[in-house]
Amino acid sequence: MFKKFEEIFSTALTPFISISKNIEHSIDYEELIHKNYFSIAADDIPFWISIKKTRKFISGYRILESVKIINGIVLNNKNEVELNSILTDTRYLRLMNSNHLIIFNRFLKYTKIKNAVTLTNYLSGNYYHWLFDVLASLKNLPAEDLKKLQFILPANCTEFQKSSLLYLFNISENQIHTLGKKEIIVEKLFVPNTSFYQFYGFNRKIKIYDQRIYDFYRTKLINDQHYLPFCVTYVSRSKSFRRKIINENELFQSFIENQIEFNVVNCEDMKFVEQVELFKKSSVIIGPHGAGLSNIVFSSKASLLIELYPQTRDVKDIFYFYQITNKLSIEHKTYLLKSINILEDMVISSNIIAQITDLCKSRSLANI
């Protein structure tokens, strides 16, 4: 009951919260098409038909002085909420249960930090947004400053947040500060942002990430192979509360009958490094649309992604993984499946099972 009241209270206060302006400028989307940002065939995914305008967010960072961090929300010295490219939409503020704390921030208890970067926005707990919005933005910080900073993470931070930060940026564990009972005052807050284009189509926002984000991960982690031993990995969402493949066992049975060796994984059970290594060696990756498929950024150009997508889902979300595979020249096939409920759980038909089995068999034969 109290939580529900808190949500309503936070939503009601949002219009009274002052928002600091972001770094952005307008750009003509036709110019982007000319520059090959859209190299997917128009008859495959005509998502740009209703694009109206775009904004470009520039890669870089800012330094803010004397800021307060209140349950992940950054309040500058003018008492304005700071939004960077990670959190560009005020609708996310309405989802955070700490808006009322901003109004009453003078009464809170604080701990002080000298130099920091905060990775605590509303989207940071999602693996996809963590990789491409949050973590990749840190590449824009000066290397010499990384050893001097405290990295502020949510109180309920996940294993993949901590381990990927330590693994990719070679920082020490004592540089990680998780939010606690006290809010934070930071003398100098480094605010990095990723470079992307934001399009307005289908009455929704569509992000086109900069190629340099993908290059960052591949330079760090990938020695690209043009030949891969045959390895099928199925990314299951059986432990998720939505977008499950109800009859995925029928697909597994087809693999067994056709003597196709395969792995079944739940990415939430795996450490970050384990996910990287698995996708690096997988020649075929199959799975329902979800954050686990973000690991395709670690895959070889010789691999194949088979994405199972619910027919009832917003069409613009198909582009999340297409933009990665398109930029990395990874083969990508999408099957639209019937959703059986509002949670977008799906059933895979016998016809599509046969098609996927044939694709895997052809890949297997090519490796003999």
pLDDT digits (tens, 9 = 90+) for 122-138: 778 889 989 988 898 89
Structure confidence by residue, pLDDT tens digits, 97-120: 555 566 666 667 788 999 999 888
Residues with pLDDT less than 70, the chain: 1-59, 83-107, 195-206, 222-228, 367-368
Q: Within 10 A of 303 (CB to CB), how many other CB atoms are there?
A: 25
Say what the alpha-carbon torsion angle 102, 135, 308, 306 is, to the nearest 10 degrees.
Answer: 170
User: Which domains, and CATH codes, for the chain?
Assistant: 2-24+57-194 (no CATH), 222-366 (3.40.50.360)
SS3 letters across 233-284: EEECCCCCCCCCECCHHHHHHHHHHCCCCEEEECHHHCCHHHHHHHHHHCCE
Report the alpha-carbon distance of residue 31 to residue 34 in Å, rounded: 5
Q: What is the pLDDT of residue 266?
A: 96
Beta carbons within 10 angstroms of residue 308's beta carbon:
25
Q: Packing angle between helix 272-281 and helix 159-169, nearest 10 degrees?
A: 70
What's the pTM?
0.80
Mind listing the pLDDT tens digit for each residue in 309-358? Answer: 998 888 778 888 988 998 888 999 999 999 999 999 999 999 999 999 99
Asked if 155 and 81 touch (Cβ cutoff 8 Å), the reply is no
* pLDDT score recorded for residue 75: 81
Q: What is the pLDDT of residue 151?
A: 95
Residue with tokens 């520039």: 58
